[in-house]
Chain A
């Protein structure tokens, strides 16, 4: 039973009630990180910082944004951009961060794939990470609706139409999602709700799960080596810091982490102040018009690869290929049949698989941006088929892999 004594200090007062020393140890100073890592291991912290930037800038945008089809466009492009002091800052931080967060997510993902950080007990880290990717995608899409410009409207039209399921013609489902025959007031208000409440709640819950999933298997290292964290941390605490294979999360690892974050933030604010244009589609500076389709409808760059998998096929085949592309990454830990947890460079055919997948996704991204004509159509089709083929080949080439 709890027995409280007169506190000897403020810290002691808190310690008796909240065990802050214990919490600090568990979360920071005695949460062990392997030493054998590189700057790519800092991407998690970069993502946390980016999420914080999105949250703070979002809070300020929320105070002036009006989720109404008649006023939404002006509340963003006039009120926030011209009337509110530093309104432009919040908007540009929010837009740039929403774009850059996907760049970091992709780096984070491909780092995990390269070093095999999704197997041997790390499956839940991967799965929760992919759920975060889905949640961030939904968050990005719903946010894109809010300025109610031409791209908002037509992206909303095209993406909600996907739910008709091609030949299934589930038009009732599409109208249910929109709350109208076309994107209109009901659509805007519900996507506003999703963007500012439901999906952010889901993201925060998933971040908790993602971090929780890390604690038992711990962070992977550059050689996929199985580190005995109990043994190595004892060595560290006994004073043999140089001989131990691990270090404290704080301040050892955080010191380097924050250095990478620092470099990242220089790059980030350079974009915010001087090159925010890439995150602001010019077409979306025309107010939504349900009777005029823009000449080209394309998603933001981070969705282009999956859009290009949808595009070269007829409706039904395209939808199936698209659905395949959306879920297949989640299954990676189970499709990789090799027991080896080492960098791709030491894994035989998987090395080529990794680089082929990375290059293929870059090609898909580039083709997704170009108009679907002539040679670009053909390259896009080949890249889409390659994407599917690589995933089908994965279990076989990893099954054949020799024990490293």
Chain B
């Protein structure tokens, strides 16, 4: 220290204490912006899967986000079997297959629309397209729809809880 006077010491001491205080305040400020516990706790949705009709898109809500639920007809399942990445995306509840995905375009989060006759999703924002199982078929979206954490419970599907089937989707890269 060049200036080892008492004044210099005061400066160093103040600087050290103020530095610790500044870091602590930044931590508090960061934490104050985190989602509140009440927001996090409201993050579960249970769906009764027996009520859906084939090839009719129903939009449910989970954590404020739209969830696309689409029950596959036998013909649609046969078609999906030709494409392994589509089969990986489907969830089996009871005897039927369902495509359940977060209905936000993976490009920038718009909600795509479903065309039941072509069995495709189109995002109006930037022209991205997805097939019936939610896999991307036209850029700019970098990947298919994300799939929410789910757990099959009889004929119910609980969103927000994970299960073996969901973990498998994560590990084989079907969803993020």
Contacts and interface: CB of A to CB of B under 8 A. Distances in A.
Interface of A: 154, 157-158, 161-162, 166-167, 169, 175-182, 184, 186, 190, 290-293, 295-297, 311, 313-316, 318, 372-373
B21 interface: no
Interface stretch (B7-15, B80-88, B104-112): B104-112
18 contacts: A157-B110, A158-B108, A158-B125, A176-B33, A176-B34, A178-B35, A179-B36, A180-B39, A181-B63, A186-B35, A186-B36, A290-B65, A292-B111, A293-B112, A293-B125, A296-B124, A315-B107, A315-B142
Interface of B: 30, 33-36, 39, 43, 59, 61, 63-66, 107-112, 124-127, 139-142, 176
Contacts of A177: 33
Given A291-B111, A297-B110, A184 B64 contact: yes
B48 to A, nearest CB: 19
A179 B111 contact: no
Given A158-B109, A169-B176, A290-B66, A181 B33 contact: no
A182 B142 contact: no
Per DSSP, chain B at the interface is: loop
A310 B5 CA distance: 57
A161 B108 contact: yes
Given A176-B34, A180-B39, A372-B126, A167 B142 contact: yes
B142 A316 contact: yes
A161 B109 contact: yes
B143 to A, nearest CB: 9
Nearest to A169: B176
A287 B125 CA distance: 19
B33 A179 contact: yes
Nearest to A295: B124
A311 B110 CA distance: 14
Contacts of A292: 111
Contacts of A181: 35, 39, 43, 63-65
A182 B176 CA distance: 18
B125 to A, nearest CB: 5
Contacts of A291: 59, 61, 66, 111
